[in-house]
Structure 1
Amino acid sequence: MGRFRPFGALISLARAQELVLAAAQPLEASESMELAAAAGRVLAAAVVADHDVPGFDRSAMDGYAVRAADVAGALPAEPARLALLEAVHAGHQPRSEVSAGSCIQIATGAPLPEGAEAVVKVEDTARDGDAVLVRVAVERGKHVVPQGEDMCAGDEVLSSGMVLTPARVGVLAALGLAQAQVYRRPRVMVLPTGTELVPPGRPLQAGQVYDSNAPALAPLVQQAGGVSERTPALGDELGVLEKALCAAAASSDIVVVTGGSSVGERDLLAPAMKRLGSIEFHGVAVKPGKPVLCGRLDGTLVLGLPGNPTSCLLTAWLFLRPALRQMARRPPDLRRWQTAKLTTAVRAVQGRDQLMLVRLEGTGDALRATPCYRGSGAIMSMALADGVVALPAGSGASTGERIEVELL
């Protein structure tokens, strides 16, 4: 009969997060990415405009390109009469030059003709055969987008380290760039452990459960800026786990092991890491999430997360997500809190901080927080939760108490 291996001294949640971030160094490698797939990626090099945008003076309105002096005294009752030379559309060059007493019909975005100084909106004009009646005066530059107004040649328009938003992708496209140089995304290999695990889509046998952790971690990794792969569920054998750990460490930036990090006879991650690599910590003074392990194998960060679904996802949110964002060179999460009134008392937990999942209802001062934690093994605990309340060890909360809820 096997024996348990009790945890050693537990470390605080804050200290555990510090150690994980210290091990999650930002990646240096970069790659070239097509613009269509570049949104959300992080620029690895500054972008300097090699030409003006726009590259010519252009019209900001549909109307008529004129000389300011020709319409200086124009009024609705006494319009200026100008000879219409031609019409020019966006993407085409005007053939004529605007001279005294003349104008050119112009579309939004079309190049301003030679000799023209301003554009009169079509709404402020009337047609009279081949002539145009201008009913308002305009100053030089009116309704004209000057060359280089958006970007000037030689300007640094985007800096290294910027996250490519849709607008920043648009900047690259406006400069004629088809690709962006971006930092490589951290690679995460997920190793589910447990002989009881079955991938979704297959029939269950007696005593088996579907693996919900690996499918749930994949979008979390993606949202944090990483890319994930997974192995089939590993059996509870030390040799099998060690072989998988070595292979994953050789091809990944972070290895995530789900299950196998507690103290049972079949929780083999700690023994495997002691043999193969090093352990930064094993055991965190928090509920849920006590069995978290952090270590290194051949320079690769290894995170052991609890096998119970809620504990797994919550600890991934606490440890894996910020580590990935740092490695991907994304800015830290903007943490958001709301104050709500607790609907049900929460009892204190001795010796460990407590993270209470809550569902939020109502708005403003009437916002209510209802605990929805059904146990660390219930995935619905996380599925129903809008936020989490952190309670220090030995502290509970009473019904009606106003509490700070960090939004998930």
Structure 2
Amino acid sequence: MSDLIPVREHLDRVLATIRPLGIYEQSLLDACGLPTAEDVTAPIPLPAFDNSAMDGYAINYLDVVDATEDHPIHLPVVGEIGAGQNRILALSPGTAVKIMTGAPVPSGATAVVPYEWTDRGVAQVRITKAPRQGANIRRAGEDIEAGDVLISEGNVVGPRHVGLLAAVGRATIKARPKPRVVILSTGSELRDPGTPLGSDSIYDSNSYMLAAAIRAVGGIPYRVGAVPDERKVFTETLHDQLVRADLVVTSGGVSEGDYDVVKESLKSIGHVWFGRVAMQPGKPQGFGLIGDERIPIFTLPGNPVSAYVSFQVFVLPAIRKLMGCRVLERPRYTCRLTHGLSSPEGKTQFVRATYDARVATPVGGHGSHLIGDLAESNALIVIPPETTTLKPGDSVEVMLLDEEF
């Protein structure tokens, strides 16, 4: 096994090659799901001005401090302020102003009496309960002060951040774009789902699975579909796709078969390493740079489980580096194993499993074609190269496949 490359070594080589995409101003919705490339600060406070927390009457607290049901206070109503209206700038002592939720509080007002404590008078209002001083007034800057950092560089923009940024008037922020990833499956036997299937053909699941996985982690997938085992067709298809690619992912055509065209095709358009990584599944791997723009390319194995595991271990960190994420690899957790396992010495084994309540249960067999078992799984048990046997109850490391990070 001396020609096998350790998983960590191959991943480190990949990440040393990948360069983050360029930074530019993006709209808030386009930036959602991406790490911000700047510390975003508030240009204005929130609230931007003192405003009413409810519908009621703006008053001077001292004018109503003695109001009770038995001894109500009567004040003349000198006007009305609705949200988005600011016709009354100041309140005179001994008067009240009808005010709506969100409307600016006039100077001189020190509290808002809710409708429920009044008779809702128009020319004059009867107040039967005194609020505390400052009650029901949202003060300018009590949520956010101008200059506060709203989201730090490197943190991922989520829906709640979008709402906050919009609230302070930010229309754009600096971020790297979502990577455009071209996906090709190779194999003359492959057919698109929904088309007739011959006795010698299979449906192309890999390009759909990889496209979905890319979308799930924030990339923009361009699924080209199946390409036949013809060098000329593969080379022309790949060349046509490079114009819209920040990254290329192929599956199939990288083993030692007579019809595996990927290796031969890539020799003329780039510098791609092909070799064997000490892992199961996913041993045959390829990675390099192609075309004049030196676009990164991953050539993954053709078996579905091998392709998916390879994506999680190698391609996902590369996509996240293109996006400028701080955390590149899926987090791993220690949990308890429910069933015994064996693993080949010298290889990192990735075992499909279900994970629940810090317990991992292996799913199905080791076959790299068993996509049904893969679909049932939500985790991969990671068995290191030096471990060959695990017993029920042993501690194992798992990679959760559906977790956001």
**Same fold judged by TM-score > 0.5?**
yes
Contact 1:282-1:294 at 8 Å conserved across structures? no
Determine the C-alpha separation between the residues in 2 that align with 1:162 and 1:357: 31
Q: 1:350 offset after TM fit, Å? A: 2.9
Q: 1:28 offset after TM fit, Å? A: 0.9
Matched, 1:226 2:197: no
CA RMSD of aligned residues (A): 2.8
Question: Alignment partner for residue 350 of structure 2, among 339, 345, 355?
Answer: 355
Matched, 1:304 2:299: yes
Look up the SS of the partner of 1:283 in the other structure.
strand
Contact 1:284-1:291 at 8 Å conserved across structures? yes
Matched, 1:389 2:381: yes
Match of 2:77 in 1: 84
Determine the C-alpha separation between the residues in 2 that align with 1:110 and 1:10: 69
Q: CA-to-partner distance for each residue in 1:130-170, whole Å, 9 max, x for gaps?
A: 2322423522x332222343444555544454422112211
Contact 2:300-2:310 at 8 Å conserved across structures? yes
Contact 1:19-1:280 at 8 Å conserved across structures? no
Q: 1:46 offset after TM fit, Å? A: 5.0
Q: 1:48 offset after TM fit, Å? A: 4.7
Contact 2:274-2:287 at 8 Å conserved across structures? yes
Matches within 5 A, 1:7-406: 9-30=3-24, 32-33=26-27, 35-45=28-38, 47-74=40-67, 78-95=71-88, 97-125=90-118, 130-139=124-133, 141-153=134-146, 157-280=150-273, 282-298=275-291, 299-332=294-327, 335-337=331-333, 339-343=335-339, 345-360=340-355, 363=357, 367=359, 369-373=361-365, 375-393=367-385, 394-406=387-399
Look up the SS of the partner of 2:284 in the other structure.
coil
Structure 2 gap ranges (5+): none
Q: Provide closer, same or farther for how the CA distance between residues 193 and 109 of structure 1 changes in structure 2, counting only shifts above 3 A.
A: same
Q: 1:20 offset after TM fit, Å? A: 1.4
Q: Provide closer, same or farther for how the CA distance between residues 43 and 200 of structure 1 changes in structure 2, counting only shifts above 3 A.
A: same
Q: 1:74 offset after TM fit, Å? A: 4.5
Contact 1:53-1:147 at 8 Å conserved across structures? yes
Determine the C-alpha separation between the residues in 1 that align with 2:217 and 2:355: 24
Look up the SS of the partner of 1:382 in the other structure.
helix
When structure 1 is superposed on structure 2, of 319-328 and 47-56 the one drifting more is: 47-56
Contact 1:83-1:132 at 8 Å conserved across structures? no
Look up the SS of the partner of 1:70 in the other structure.
helix
Q: Provide closer, same or farther for how the CA distance between residues 159 and 192 of structure 1 changes in structure 2, counting only shifts above 3 A.
A: same
Look up the SS of the partner of 2:282 in the other structure.
coil
Determine the C-alpha separation between the residues in 2 that align with 1:183 and 1:97: 48
**Superposition TM-score, scaled by structure 2 size:** 0.87
Q: Provide closer, same or farther for how the CA distance between residues 97 and 231 of structure 1 changes in structure 2, counting only shifts above 3 A.
A: closer
Q: 1:349 offset after TM fit, Å? A: 0.9
Q: 1:80 offset after TM fit, Å? A: 4.0
Contact 2:58-2:111 at 8 Å conserved across structures? yes
**Superposition TM-score, scaled by structure 1 size:** 0.86
Q: 1:45 offset after TM fit, Å? A: 4.9
Determine the C-alpha separation between the residues in 2 that align with 1:336 and 1:134: 61
Match of 1:3 in 2: none
Contact 2:207-2:225 at 8 Å conserved across structures? no
When structure 1 is superposed on structure 2, of 248-257 and 350-359 the one drifting more is: 248-257
Determine the C-alpha separation between the residues in 2 that align with 1:334 and 1:349: 24
Q: Provide closer, same or farther for how the CA distance between residues 83 and 353 of structure 1 changes in structure 2, counting only shifts above 3 A.
A: same
Determine the C-alpha separation between the residues in 1 that align with 2:384 and 2:31: 42
Look up the SS of the partner of 1:231 in the other structure.
strand
Contact 1:342-1:403 at 8 Å conserved across structures? no
Structure 1 gap ranges (5+): 1-6
Q: Which aligned runs of 4 or more in structure 1 are off by greater than 6 angstroms?
A: none
Determine the C-alpha separation between the residues in 2 that align with 1:158 and 1:368: 36
Determine the C-alpha separation between the residues in 1 that align with 2:88 and 2:268: 80
Determine the C-alpha separation between the residues in 2 that align with 1:144 and 1:349: 68
Contact 1:372-1:385 at 8 Å conserved across structures? no
Q: Provide closer, same or farther for how the CA distance between residues 163 and 240 of structure 1 changes in structure 2, counting only shifts above 3 A.
A: same
When structure 1 is superposed on structure 2, of 52-61 and 377-386 the one drifting more is: 52-61
Q: Provide closer, same or farther for how the CA distance between residues 96 and 67 of structure 1 changes in structure 2, counting only shifts above 3 A.
A: same
Q: Provide closer, same or farther for how the CA distance between residues 183 and 275 of structure 1 changes in structure 2, counting only shifts above 3 A.
A: same
Look up the SS of the partner of 1:93 in the other structure.
coil
Question: Aligned pairs, how many?
Answer: 396
